[in-house]
């Protein structure tokens, strides 16, 4: 199996490229007068837009989770919020 990877700038830009291409396709779909052709252009545009959003959110969640694990000591349980005595 080949270990080919994308260049980091391209990898980081992919969700935004998906979003822009999807929005362009949705706009083109709106401007096309034919119903069938509008759907043929619009559906992939919708999929690309949703894919870009999902990819952005998944990366953000993964990076936040990874940062949380790296900054905390894994041998100690996280502290619970302190409660006033007597409650």
On whether residue 22 sits in a domain, the answer given is yes
Q: Contact 52/15 with Cβ under 8 angstroms?
A: yes
On whether residue 45 sits in a domain, the answer given is yes
In this prediction, residue 67 carries a pLDDT of 86
On whether residue 55 sits in a domain, the answer given is yes
What is the domain count for the chain? 1
Q: Write out pLDDT tens, residues 39-53.
A: 999 999 999 999 999
| Listed residue (56, 48, 61) closest to 20, CA to CA | 48
| Residue 28, token pair as written in the block | 């083109």
Helix (H, G, I), strand (E, B) or coil at 45: helix
For the whole model, what pTM was predicted? 0.70
Sign of the dihedral defined by the CA atoms of residues 36, 42, 48, 50, in that order:
negative
- What is the domain extent for residue 61? 8-71
d(C-alpha 45, C-alpha 20), whole Å? 9
């Amino acid at each position: 199996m080949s270990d080919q990877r994308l260049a980091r700038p391209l990898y980081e830009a992919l969700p935004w490229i998906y979003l822009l291409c999807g929005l362009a396709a949705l706009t083109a779909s709106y401007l096309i007068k034919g119903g069938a052709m509008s759907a043929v252009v619009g559906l992939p545009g919708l999929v690309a837009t949703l894919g870009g959003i999902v990819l952005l959110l998944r990366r953000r969640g993964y990076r936040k989770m990874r940062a949380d694990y790296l900054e905390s000591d894994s041998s100690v349980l996280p502290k619970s919020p302190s409660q006033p005595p007597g409650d």
